[in-house]
């Protein structure tokens, strides 16, 4: 059985390849978008066959699935912070459709799809917890594209009679972090993080290695009707708790910490959201404004379904995970 992994050079992709390498996986084909990513994934899983292909180009995917009699797919390719809003649909929906079609033509037996909390949106109240069967309420353009991709995956797999699992992770942390997460760590450590409101809003987070373990479990567990599961740490954290965990982790790794924040009124978050929505409505996207608009939101979920059905074991210590984040950054030349 050949396993195909898309988005292999991304944050999750690297963690997942590291997990595969740890258990000596063979027969893995990986998809990266740029030739610059080839050495990265090659060092993570030397036995993998690497293809450079844009998932939005159906013809480019032919090489990836060529000659397969049966395959499983972990589909993680996507765009979170694009240059233009139109990329959300093109990459997250059209790209997913192309991968599905190519995989079905190559004997697809299992499809694990990496979605996002953004397809469900934000909690209606501070004490609410999202469960696995929540109705869609997508958060702006990215959320709409992830909702459309989920619906596409479910409908396609059900029609084809192929097993599948959809995973909905929230905010990542841990090893293999991109530069944007390194900037977050540095901003918090230096006392420059903008705390919107009183910081009591709750955010679920997920250690990327836990997410990789969940995807591995989803490849093997018996499921019906393409279920979706939240994958996160055992409990959500208050925003102030996240900041304090970063301070503790940085201090434990021997870094200088300034335990201060830049306090902003709750109205600042609402204003950022309105600006973000207006920009996206005109087809434009600005990453910093988008992130600022989310800082006061509650995005909290329960992982009971994944624990019950997948055998998922959520992380328990945010401080330990943030220490791994700092350690990875320091070992890989990031400014944290």
Question: Would you say 30 and 45 are in contact if contact means Cβ atoms under 8 Å apart?
Answer: yes
Supply the pLDDT for residue 282: 96
116 by DSSP, 3-state: which? coil
Supply the pLDDT for residue 1: 84
pLDDT digits (tens, 9 = 90+) for 46-98: 999 999 999 999 999 988 999 999 999 999 999 999 999 999 999 999 999 99
179 by DSSP, 3-state: which? helix
Task: Name residue, tokens 């800082």.
Answer: 295
61 by DSSP, 3-state: which? helix
CA nearest 128: which of 240, 204, 196, 205? 204
Quote the tokens at residue 82.
């694009």
Residue 10 to residue 303: CA distance in whole angstroms: 23
Supply the pLDDT for residue 224: 85
Q: Is 211 exposed, middle or buried (0-12, 13-18, 19+ CB in 10 A)?
A: buried
- For the chain, residues with pLDDT lower than 50 are none
Neighbours of 330 (CB within 10 A): 15
Please list, in sequence order, all residues whose beta carbon lies within 8 angstroms of the beta carbon of residue 95, skipping any fewer than 6 positions away. 54, 55, 56, 77, 78
DSSP letters spanning 121-160: ---SSTT--B-TTPPP---HHHHHHHHHHHHHHHHHHHHH
User: Strands, DSSP E only, in 43-102?
Assistant: 49-52, 71-75
Residue 205 to residue 152: CA distance in whole angstroms: 26
């Amino acid at each position: 059985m050949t396993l195909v992994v898309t988005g292999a050079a991304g944050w999750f992709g690297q963690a997942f390849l590291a997990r595969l390498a740890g258990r000596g996986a063979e027969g893995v084909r990986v998809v990266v978008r740029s030739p610059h990513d080839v050495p990265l994934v090659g060092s993570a899983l030397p036995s993998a066959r690497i293809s450079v292909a844009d998932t939005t180009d159906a013809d480019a995917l032919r090489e990836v699935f060529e000659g397969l009699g049966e395959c499983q797919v972990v589909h993680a390719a996507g765009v979170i912070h694009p240059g233009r809003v139109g990329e959300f649909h093109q990459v997250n929906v059209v790209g997913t459709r192309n991968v599905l079609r190519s995989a079905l033509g190559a004997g697809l037996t299992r499809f694990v799809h990496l979605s996002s909390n953004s397809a469900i949106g934000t909690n209606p109240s501070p004490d609410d917890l999202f469960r696995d069967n929540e109705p869609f309420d997508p958060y702006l353009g990215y959320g709409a594209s992830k909702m459309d991709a989920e619906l596409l995956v479910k409908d396609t797999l059900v029609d084809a009679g192929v097993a599948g699992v959809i995973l909905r992770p929230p905010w990542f942390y841990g090893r293999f972090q991109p530069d944007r997460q390194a900037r977050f760590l540095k901003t918090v450590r230096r006392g420059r993080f903008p705390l919107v409101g009183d910081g009591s809003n709750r955010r679920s987070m997920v250690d990327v290695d836990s997410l990789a373990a969940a995807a591995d479990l989803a490849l093997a567990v018996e499921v019906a009707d393409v279920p979706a599961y939240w994958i996160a740490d055992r409990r959500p954290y208050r925003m102030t708790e996240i900041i304090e965990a970063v301070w503790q982790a940085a201090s434990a790794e021997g870094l200088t910490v300034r335990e201060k924040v830049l306090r902003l009124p709750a109205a600042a978050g609402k204003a950022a959201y309105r600006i973000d929505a207006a920009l996206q409505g005109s087809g434009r996207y600005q990453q910093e404004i988008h992130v600022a608009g989310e800082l006061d939101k509650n995005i909290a979920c329960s992982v009971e379904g994944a624990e019950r059905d997948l055998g998922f074991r959520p992380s328990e210590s945010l401080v330990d995970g943030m220490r791994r984040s700092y350690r990875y950054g320091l070992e890989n030349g990031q400014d944290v």
